[in-house]
Amino acid sequence: MSREGIQEEESWTISDLAQQLDVSTRTIRYYEELGLIFPSRTEKGSRHYKRKDRARLRLILRGKRFGFSLDQIREMIELFDEDRTGRAQLLRTIEYGNQKLAEIDEKIMELRQLREDILVYKQNFEQKLLEENEEEKR
């Protein structure tokens, strides 16, 4: 067990966390409402968030930035939740993970394509710019 309990675990209030990750407190509470995150409470009822909670919130926000709905994210989180047990569950979760990885790889491909599209647009404009300069030389 080594030094369990000796190292004080850092913990933040909701507004601390909100500031760190640049979201509103409302948003964080809303995510809790949806079952995406479960901070512990002080005896007075105030939420406090530890490193693990922050990591989870980061994951949520990252997911959001790529068009995953909060519902999809919850689905994901539920499956990845630590306390699942049994070989069947584990296998399912791993399979789900593989699936998500594949989806992400696909997104990366698509993003590269989008990049390519934009690059072509831009080059088109650069070409026009060149032509305009040519005109000027006459």
Contact residues toward a second copy (CB under 8 A) are: 59, 62-67, 80, 84, 87, 90-91, 93-94, 97-98, 100-101, 104-105, 107-108, 110-115, 117-119, 121-122, 125-126, 128-129, 132
- Which member of 46, 89, 113, 127 binds DNA (CB under 7 A)? 46
- Which member of 30, 59, 79, 80 binds DNA (CB under 7 A)? 30
| Dihedral, 49, 67, 94, 90 alpha carbons, nearest 10 | 50
Residue 44 sits at φ, ψ, to 5 deg, of -90, -5
**Residue nearer to a second copy on the CB measure, 37 or 47:** 37
* Rounded Cα gap, residues 27 and 59, in angstroms: 14
Nearest by Cα to 57 from 27, 37, 79, 40: 37
DSSP structural state of residue 65: T
Residues binding DNA (CB under 7 A): 13-16, 24-27, 29-30, 34, 44-47, 64, 69-71
